[in-house]
Amino acid sequence: MAGSDAASKLFDALNDSYDAFIDGVRAANDRGHRISTALIEQAQEGQRETVRLARKWAEAPLDFLNFYSSLVEASTEAQGRALETTRQWFGEFDETQKETREVLQRMTNANRAAGEAVTEIARGVFTRASEAVQSVGRSVSEGNGRRAARERARAAEASEAEATTES
């Protein structure tokens, strides 16, 4: 029964370890999706800003002052988007560190529980094996004792039979 409990603990620990690993992979996948989505949105916004500038220039190609003002504004917005993207990357990196620590802690705890369960299983196996060897040893020694007694009995019978045939 104890072996069954230990085996159950082992398999539960293996599941816990694997679940922690899968949760980490899932979190990394979600993080990658968020970063990719942000990059796509930033690229799309930059492309739209470029088209707005081109349209403004096409409408009034000689209005340099107004175009320059629009160009500075677009440049400022692009820098803001770049800073926002960088801020998001650092935020995601911080989350990555926290999640990695958590996943490693969960996996370590699960592996420790698995190791304890394996130790418990091994103890049970060795205890049962030792008891079986001792039982076989007792049987063999008892069997040898019986054999010796049977051989003595046969020898006694044989000597009695010889004594009766001689008389």
CATH topology of domain 2-166: Helix Hairpins (1.10.287)
Q: Where are the alpha helices (DSSP H) in 2-63?
A: 2-59
Residue 85, pLDDT above cutoff 80: yes
- pLDDT at residue 1, as a whole number: 46
Burial class (CB in 10 A: 0-12, 13-18, 19+), 164: exposed
Task: Record the pTM.
Answer: 0.60
* Cβ atoms < 10 Å from Cβ of 81: 17
**Percent of the chain having pLDDT more than 90?**
39
Which residue ranges make up each domain of the chain? Answer: 2-166
User: How many residues are present in the chain?
Assistant: 167
- Cβ atoms of 103 and 21 within 8 Å: the answer is yes
- Nearest one of 82, 90, 5, 6 to 45, comparing CA atoms: 82
